[in-house]
Structure 1
Amino acid sequence: MILDSKKEHYTKLIKAEAKRLGFLSCGISKAGFLEEEAPRLENWLNQNRHGEMKYMENHFDKRLNPTLLVDDAKSVISLLLNYYPSEFQNQESYKISKYAYGQDYHFVIKEKLKELLHTIQTEIGEVSGRAFVDSAPVLDKAWAAKSGLGWIGKNSNLLTQQVGSFYFIAELIVDLDLEYDHATTDHCGTCTACIDACPTEAIVAPYVVDGSKCISYFTIELKDNIPMQMKGKFDDWAFGCDVCQDVCPWNRFSKAHKEPLFSATPELLSFTKKDWEEITAETFQKVFKNSAVKRTKFEGFKRNINFLK
């Protein structure tokens, strides 16, 4: 049993180290079964809102219970890392989601999480834990909301009053008792900007996104040809989509990130539609070296561009 004074000390230490590593914020919640999320996830899957993302059907229990992912898990440490850029693509261009401007966030954040865990083990002692960045069945937005880092908005993104929603979410799940934060309140109010603006009407109801209708799904997850009934609805998005974030009033508070690895290449910022249409495999590899865009591979990216032409 850890004394309250030690819990307080450990919690402060972790949050101070997270800040030093450049994380926007850090919240902590008690590891356990996500009771409220279970029926929501089940309904979402039953309605086939995940389309061809069959991996979403796997590890249902683990998605809802981190103690099945980490032995003797006690705490979920949720972290936000800002990716809002200071420079944007040429307006006369096909668009790429802002999160993919720089280097692949999986690697950038994993390194920071490794360092955070190392500090915890050095300063506190024998602590076991695992780092998660989108790569395992963890409901990151649910945990971030539970630990008070924001609320889940009508577009199903985590929102904050201070900086909007342009940030990555990651977790460290550890076998250490800590002081726990509390959920914040919802501040979407009567606003329906995200629902009204979605080019493919993927936000089928407030707080419910049909993943199989989302531009991000079509341009990243879908491996087959994009359905022709979607022609003309993509608003020039070639990889991902930021529309529901761009129109969110809370994102007027977004501030540029300070992570050099998230900075875009000059080519990405200056390319016109013609440049994208004529892109070669060699240029693709150069512009998107170490980028999340490589997930589509060159052929997938060309498919997206050809669909937009």
Structure 2
Amino acid sequence: MTAASSPVITTYSDDRVALKAWIKAEALALGFADCVIARPDAQAEMARLEEYLKRGYHADMDFLGENLEKRADPTLLVPGTKCIICVRMDYLVETPKPRHVPDAPNHGIIARYARGRDYHKVMRGRLKTLSQRIKARVGEFESRPFADSAPIFEKSLAENAGMGWTGKHTLLIHKKSGSFFVLGELFSALDLPFDEPTTKHCGSCTACLDICPTQAIVEPYMLDARKCIAYLTIEYKGIIPEDLRRPIGNRIFGCDDCQLICPWNSFAKVTPIEDFQPRHGLDRLSLLELWQWDEPTFLAYTEGSPLRRTGYQSFMRNVAIGLGNAPFSLEIITQLNAQRELHDEVVQVHIDWALQEQHHKQS
């Protein structure tokens, strides 16, 4: 914080509660579904992360074991931080049926958050606007926006400030809004009153553990990424273990099953943000339609989309698995054979497996 800005902020020193309320109102006006003020302290999360790393549940995401000091103490990441303005952004464009996992075996299922514009871009842009609006009111202060882009315990920070509680599937749940939302943070040098944690409400429910196709939720609040469909179809670039291919089904980018089955998502809200509307029919494309994509088509249809994260070959690997798991079709066999030589060795392994699966169903 600069010396010149201090007198302006001091104007609010006797009414920090009013400033906090105004910031929250501005956040809602920008399309955020909620806004809380968190302490810049995540020390309590360290023990759980260390156990997670010890068990190897992070797979090859070695970055999770880096910058642990900054994760625990956000003021080391952004010096001068006095509070963290945490926001959530709902992304559903339609409310799903409660406790219902749709069955559409010939379609490529993409996680709902990834069907529209990349939320990282949407989140950062609106956080910057929020910061600008606050500065217009109180004067200059140090701030920095984040959207899943730094070593931050974002769920822990938001949870400790009452945005919800961590469910047994490890996602944050809000009592009146479910869990179909993404998080963002604005590190701030403003001295604002902190919000307090809420209570937990999973009770004895184990729906998310029971529904997980690969049993990746190995125990309540502990997820083994090595089995998680979201990790396997997005982050992992290699050959997916054969025993996990059938459980993946036709999920080609991420997985919503543990959220869809959660009773709290009967309260899930529809987003007012147009950017989350599906692009290029990504909520209804068949596996065979996706299999026709060449790399230029993939790049064109995924511009500004989270799907870019997989890369073309890994995306086609996922589609090949989906085709192997689809009901028997001579057209699928024909198309798999026709495209085989167009892909790298990793994809070819999964094409061969898919062909075997299709021929097995034929017999």
The AA in structure 2 aligned to 1:123 is: R
What is the aligned partner in structure 2 of residue 132 from structure 1?
146
What is the aligned partner in structure 2 of residue 293 from structure 1?
307
The AA in structure 2 aligned to 1:17 is: E
User: Which residue of 36, 40, 51 corresponds with 1:27?
Assistant: 36
Q: CA deviation at 1:75?
A: 0.2
In the alignment, is the contact (CA less than 8 A) between 1:268 and 1:287 conserved in 2? no
User: Which residue of 13, 16, 24 corresponds with 2:25?
Assistant: 16
What is the aligned partner in structure 1 of residue 15 from structure 2?
6
User: Which residue of 60, 71, 82 corresponds with 1:52?
Assistant: 60
The AA in structure 1 aligned to 2:73 is: N
User: Which residue of 181, 192, 200 corresponds with 2:214?
Assistant: 200
Q: Report which stretch shifted further, 278-287 or 160-169.
A: 278-287
Unmatched runs of 5 consecutive residues or more in structure 2 = 1-8, 97-101, 325-363
Query: Scaled by the length of structure 1, what TM-score is found?
Result: 0.95
The AA in structure 2 aligned to 1:79 is: V
Could you say what secondary structure the match of 2:307 adopts?
Answer: helix
What is the aligned partner in structure 2 of residue 256 from structure 1?
270
Matched, 1:104 2:112: no
Matched, 1:269 2:277: no
- State the distance in 1 between where 2:72 and 2:258 align: 26
Q: CA deviation at 1:283?
A: 2.7
Matches within 5 A, 1:169-180: 169-180=183-194
- State the distance in 2 between where 1:73 and 1:270 align: 44
In the alignment, is the contact (CA less than 8 A) between 1:120 and 1:127 conserved in 2? no
Q: CA deviation at 1:282?
A: 3.0
- State the distance in 2 between where 1:193 and 1:80 align: 24
The AA in structure 2 aligned to 1:31 is: P
Q: Deviations over 1:151-210 (max 9, x none)?
A: 000000000111100001000111111011110000001100000000111111111111
CA-based RMSD: 1.8
Could you say what secondary structure the match of 1:36 adopts?
Answer: helix
What is the aligned partner in structure 1 of residue 333 from structure 2?
none
What is the aligned partner in structure 1 of residue 349 from structure 2?
none
- State the distance in 2 between where 1:203 and 1:268 align: 27
Could you say what secondary structure the match of 1:118 adopts?
Answer: helix
- State the distance in 2 between where 1:4 and 1:205 align: 46
In the alignment, is the contact (CA less than 8 A) between 2:95 and 2:269 conserved in 1? no
What is the aligned partner in structure 1 of residue 79 from structure 2?
71
Structure with larger RCO (C-alpha < 8 A, sep 6+): 1
Matches within 5 A, 1:228-243: 228-243=242-257
Q: CA deviation at 1:266?
A: 4.5
In the alignment, is the contact (CA less than 8 A) between 1:90 and 1:271 conserved in 2? no
In the alignment, is the contact (CA less than 8 A) between 1:199 and 1:234 conserved in 2? yes
Q: Deviations over 1:126-165 (max 9, x none)?
A: 2101111001001111011011010000000000111100
Q: CA deviation at 1:87?
A: 8.5
Could you say what secondary structure the match of 2:248 adopts?
Answer: coil
Q: CA deviation at 1:49?
A: 0.8
The AA in structure 2 aligned to 1:248 is: C
Q: Deviations over 1:221-242 (max 9, x none)?
A: 1111111121201131100111
User: Which residue of 235, 242, 251 corresponds with 1:221?
Assistant: 235
Could you say what secondary structure the match of 2:210 adopts?
Answer: helix
Q: Deviations over 1:11-36 (max 9, x none)?
A: 1121111011000000112223x232
Paired residues, number: 308
The AA in structure 2 aligned to 1:75 is: C
Unmatched runs of 5 consecutive residues or more in structure 1 = none
The AA in structure 2 aligned to 1:130 is: R
- State the distance in 1 between where 2:308 and 2:132 align: 30
In the alignment, is the contact (CA less than 8 A) between 1:90 and 1:269 conserved in 2? no
Q: Deviations over 1:258-288 (max 9, x none)?
A: 1111111242233112212222223322332
What is the aligned partner in structure 2 of residue 284 from structure 1?
298
In the alignment, is the contact (CA less than 8 A) between 1:152 and 1:207 conserved in 2? yes
- State the distance in 2 between where 1:269 and 1:189 align: 33
Matches within 5 A, 1:141-220: 141-220=155-234
The AA in structure 1 aligned to 2:119 is: Y
In the alignment, is the contact (CA less than 8 A) between 2:40 and 2:157 conserved in 1? no
Query: Scaled by the length of structure 2, what TM-score is found?
Result: 0.81
- State the distance in 2 between where 1:191 and 1:46 align: 27
The AA in structure 2 aligned to 1:101 is: R
Instruction: Give percent identity, aligned residues only.
Output: 37
In the alignment, is the contact (CA less than 8 A) between 1:90 and 1:272 conserved in 2? no
In the alignment, is the contact (CA less than 8 A) between 1:90 and 1:270 conserved in 2? no
Could you say what secondary structure the match of 1:231 adopts?
Answer: helix
Name the larger-Rg structure. Answer: 2
